[in-house]
Structure 1
């Protein structure tokens, strides 16, 4: 702990509580949603709300009976597979763009990034017509393809700076020692870009997992994802708040678990390049 930081803490003693307070305020909506999922249906809309109550699993049981597990599995499969495919194709492309010394490198990188900036609604009709002709409507394969398509530019754009930071001299030395290019890429370059891969993977997974627009337009029942299933609990007869809270809590769980698993790589990956020297 530096001297300046100690002086700052002595001068502003209440500042040490600022971070916990802000963190609590940020987590309050999620904690409120979680407790709502365990609250009996008759007590959810009470005002003032009850802080102490007898927890129940009735809303989670109702989700199981209403077929929510199938939608949850659809989200898990499409998000995981599309993320893996985006990394398989995007990481080598980012490495090739990083090592490209010819003209047009900046223009190509910019054009790849621009494809990610276009609003998804602009691609709705072309994708819908193409998927209907190919028979991919309401299929996991269709969602995987569209998520992979939108995640590829993100993978290339995020991974290129990490490969730029890997010294080319290391690769040249390994090649001069007789190591094949495949070994150089997998055993020298890739381990040095692990933090970037982890950060990129979780952002791709988040995009696919939280997608609502394409899942609503391109699916009906067989490939319906969890976010769409949660919205179906809002109907003309009334909003089923207990099921909505339980479904929302389950939707948050995989992202939270995945983030905790790769948090060390995620922080280092997102802050890479912030400090130089």
Structure 2
């Protein structure tokens, strides 16, 4: 039997995959179908297996303050991810090519800064932002997310740069290429999977953040996760809007992940192997 025939998908394996996917996706599918129901249908017991879907929840969301909060989340997550990659990727490359003493100590120190719990920085950030006038601003959120994502970028990208042979860079330098050209034209294309995987993780952290967005914003820079909580009030929980808001919050991450799916799996695994 050939190697390919041994790896052929059998009916039992296919059933197991489908069942596993249904179990993993059932919470998201349940949330999605609930977003197309009215509050009366959501609270009905037993839940109706067949119902007439409605876009009322999504329409009411986009005619409320949630639309501005959604844009705030997109801006803060995208800008902080871009800044973290802009500064973190060259720093990881420099750390990877550093041949002097103290390299491992510096790498560990960078990792330790990412291990600190966010709550430890809440009061300093709040007092400092109030002093310089960055409370309730997109700029303030971007700086916070960038400061937490930067160590993650350096820590994740360094192993990818370690796998790039230095002989390629030396050959390009001998041929007259500048250091910037070597980095942008030779090294970066070889670590594209790592950049894609790192970008997704940075975007996820910024997009899903609730703690800093709750403490450091009020109305102008409120993000989507905080806006969804506002539908839980003393008059009653608006389950339809909560479900619709949760579905919309998941959408950008899903689209971003699908867009770079070619690099995601290889990016998450390649950097773990050196040599």
Tell me the TM-score normalized by structure 2.
0.96
What displacement does 1:65 show?
Answer: 2.2
- Partner residue of 1:165? 163
Q: Distance in 2 between matches of 1:128 and 1:276?
A: 41
Say if 2:163 and 2:274, in contact at 8 Å, map to a contact too: no
What displacement does 1:4 show?
Answer: 4.5
What displacement does 1:276 show?
Answer: 7.1
Which of 78, 81, 84 lines up with 2:82 in the alignment?
Answer: 84
Which of 42, 60, 63 lines up with 1:62 in the alignment?
Answer: 60
Correspondence list, 1:1-277, <5 A: 1-2=3-4, 4-5=6-7, 9=10, 14-273=12-271
* DSSP-derived class of the 1:271 partner: helix
Q: Distance in 2 between matches of 1:135 and 1:274?
A: 42
Say if 2:34 and 2:243, in contact at 8 Å, map to a contact too: yes
Q: Distance in 1 between matches of 2:167 and 2:215?
A: 49
What displacement does 1:66 show?
Answer: 1.9
Q: Distance in 1 between matches of 2:213 and 2:272?
A: 36
What displacement does 1:139 show?
Answer: 0.2
Extract structure 1 runs of 4+ deviating beyond 6 A. Answer: none
Tell me the TM-score normalized by structure 1.
0.95
Q: Distance in 1 between matches of 2:186 and 2:64?
A: 49
Structure 1 spans left out of the alignment, 5+ residues: none
Q: Distance in 2 between matches of 1:63 and 1:103?
A: 56
What displacement does 1:162 show?
Answer: 0.5
Counterparts in 2 of 1:105 and 1:84: CA distance versus 1, 3 Å: same
What displacement does 1:16 show?
Answer: 2.9
* DSSP-derived class of the 1:50 partner: coil
* DSSP-derived class of the 2:140 partner: helix
1:182-241, CA deviations, whole angstroms, 9 ceiling, x for partnerless residues?
110000000001000000000000000000000000000000000000001001111100
Structure 2 spans left out of the alignment, 5+ residues: none
Counterparts in 2 of 1:273 and 1:219: CA distance versus 1, 3 Å: closer
Task: Answer with 41-50 or 123-132: which moved more.
Answer: 41-50
What displacement does 1:15 show?
Answer: 3.3
How many residue pairs get matched? 273
Q: Distance in 2 between matches of 1:217 and 1:38?
A: 32
* DSSP-derived class of the 1:221 partner: coil
